[in-house]
Amino acid sequence: MNLNEFDLNLLKTLRVLLQEKNTAKAAERLGVSQPAVSRSLAKIRESFDDPLFVRQARGLKLTDKAQTLAQQLPKILALLETTLQGEHFCPDQLTGKFRLAINGYLLDSHGYAICAAIMAKAPELALELHSYSPATDGQLLTGEVDAGISFYPIEVSKELRQVHIATSHIGGIYHHCHPLGELGSISVNELLNYPLAGLIVPEYNAQYMKMQNLFENNIQLNPKFRSQQLSTILQYLNEQPDTICIAPESAFVGLDQSAFKFVRFEHKQQPMTIEYSLNFNNNYFKSAKFLWLEREIKQVFKQLGNTQRAKP
C-alpha cells in the first residue's frame, strides 16, 4: 500500500468496523449513513488489497490482515492522539463520542455527576454511560470503551492502567425502621444477626471474599436477595426493613436519608474501606486528556463526599 495515496481519515472508520464487524452498527457509532461506511470500506479494501471481512453463517469474519489491524490499529491511533495533543490540551475542543463504563455501585450515585462535570468543560463531546461488566476490560483494549471506573485493584490486562481516584467506607444501607437505628458503625460480625442483600457486581467478587474471610468457623454470608440495580434493592428494603444491603458508602450518595440510613462496618475496631480506580488503555498513560479526566473525576468524588458529610 502506498501511504502517500491513502486517506488517513479512513483509519477511524476502519477501527470501528474492525470492532463491530457490521456496517450498520459502525455507521451508528460514527454518526454517518450506512452507505457512507460501505463506500469507505470499499476504499479501504482497495488500499489494503484485502477483503478484510469475509461473510459466514454467523456474520462477518476477519481475514488474517484484518486481525492484525484489529490488534495494532487502536494502539497506533491512541499514540497519534496523545502525540498531537502534546502539553497544550483544551477540553472545550474535544469532539466525537466518549464512552465511560462505571461500576454498578457508583452508576446511580456518581454517574450523572461525572458526566455533567465532563460536559461542562467539553460541551462538544457526546457521552455514553455504560455499566462496568466482564466485557469492559476487553473493550478498553480495543477502544470500544474509552475509560472505566471500578474497584481497585482488580485483575486486568497489563495493557490497562489503573489510577487510584477515591476511597470509600464499606458498610450497609438499611431502612430507617431497622433495629440499628442511628448507629454510626458496627462490628462486621453483627451482620450475622440480620438478613442481607447486595448488588450483583462481577468485579466485586474479590472484595466480597476478603469480607467473607473475616468470619471464623467457615461462616458464610448468604444474601437473601441480590440484583444488578440498586433501585430494586431499595424496593426490597422497603418491603423487608430488617435487611441490610452490603455496599460502599459512596453508593449512599443521593439517597433519601429520611427513608434510608448507612452504617459503617468495622473489623477489630478498624474501619473497613474499599478503593476505586480509573481504568484505561496504557497507550493513554500521562496523556493530557486522561490526566484532565482523572482530575475531574477525583473532584466529583470529593464534592459528593463533602456534600454527604455535610448532611444532618
CATH number reported for the structural domain that contains residue 78 in this entry = 1.10.10.10
- 300 vs 217: CA distance, rounded Å: 41
Domain boundary among 85, 107, 123: 85
**Per-residue confidence (pLDDT) for residue 5, from 0 to 100:** 75
CATH number at residue 108: 3.40.190.290
Q: Assess whether 298 and 245 both reside in one domain.
A: yes
Exposure letters 162-200 (e unless 16+ CB within 10 A, then b) = bbebbebbbbbbbbeebebeeeeebebebbeebebbbbe
**Per-residue confidence (pLDDT) for residue 210, from 0 to 100:** 60
Q: Assess whether 101 and 192 both reside in one domain.
A: yes
Q: Assess whether 261 and 145 both reside in one domain.
A: yes
Q: Assess whether 275 and 160 both reside in one domain.
A: yes
**Per-residue confidence (pLDDT) for residue 222, from 0 to 100:** 81
The structural domain count of the chain equals 2
Q: Assess whether 162 and 225 both reside in one domain.
A: yes
**Per-residue confidence (pLDDT) for residue 307, from 0 to 100:** 59
**Per-residue confidence (pLDDT) for residue 85, from 0 to 100:** 63
Q: Assess whether 286 and 205 both reside in one domain.
A: yes
Instruction: Name the residue range of residue 175's domain.
Output: 92-312
Q: Assess whether 192 and 49 both reside in one domain.
A: no
pLDDT in 10s for each residue of the chain, 312 residues: 666 678 888 988 998 888 888 888 888 888 889 999 999 999 999 889 999 988 877 767 899 999 898 888 877 887 777 776 666 678 998 888 899 999 888 988 999 999 999 999 999 998 999 999 889 998 998 888 999 999 888 888 888 999 999 999 989 999 999 999 888 899 888 888 899 998 887 666 555 556 666 666 666 778 899 998 899 999 999 999 999 999 999 999 889 989 999 999 988 888 888 899 999 998 888 888 899 999 999 999 999 876 555 455
- 116 vs 300: CA distance, rounded Å: 10
Length of the chain equals 312
Domain boundary among 58, 85, 112: 85
Exposure letters 242-266 (e unless 16+ CB within 10 A, then b) = ebbbbbbbbbbbebeeeebbbbbbb
**Per-residue confidence (pLDDT) for residue 157, from 0 to 100:** 86
Q: Assess whether 115 and 257 both reside in one domain.
A: yes
